[in-house]
Structure 1
Amino acid sequence: MPIEIKELHIKISVDDNPQSSDPAQNNRIEKEQIIAACVEQVMEILAKNRER
């Protein structure tokens, strides 16, 4: 059964002074945060579908 995501909210914050001097490390952390948020929303959708 395919899953359809109707809404996807992505929140990010941009700082002028990054905490790490390594931009590749910052990008990896940001990607991990975005992926974690997406996975959380998909899990919520699956939980709602199971309740029905």
Structure 2
Amino acid sequence: MPIEIRELNIKVNISEGGSASAAPLAAPEGGNAGTGANDQQDALIAMVIEKVLEILKRQNER
């Protein structure tokens, strides 16, 4: 019997310094890979938006 998850809470802590074990973020498509914090934030936001859109698409297909 499948289990349906109705709500999923995810907490994320983002620090400016980062850690040595953290993998570098990929630049968004069509953008230049920069070293600035804004480029990393833009890449993170683009990745989160893409994942949310994928989830919404899957929900609409049901």
TM-score category of the 2 structures, normalised to the smaller one:
0.5 to 0.7
After superposition, where does 1:6-17 map in structure 2 within 5 Å?
12-13=23-24
Tell me the equivalent position of 2:50: 40
| Structure 1 residue 50, shift from structure 2 partner | 0.3
Q: Which has the higher contact order (CA 8 A, sep 6+)?
A: 1
Q: Percent of pairs identical after alignment? A: 26
Q: Which runs of 5+ in 1 are unaligned?
A: none
Match for residue 39 of structure 2 among 5, 25, 29: 29
Q: Which runs of 5+ in 2 are unaligned?
A: 1-5, 11-21, 26-32
Cα distance in structure 2, aligned partners of 1:30 and 1:4: 28
Structure 1 stretches of at least 4 aligned residues deviating more than 2 Å after TM superposition: 3-7
Normalising by structure 2, we get a TM-score of 0.48
Residue correspondences, number: 39
Normalising by structure 1, we get a TM-score of 0.56
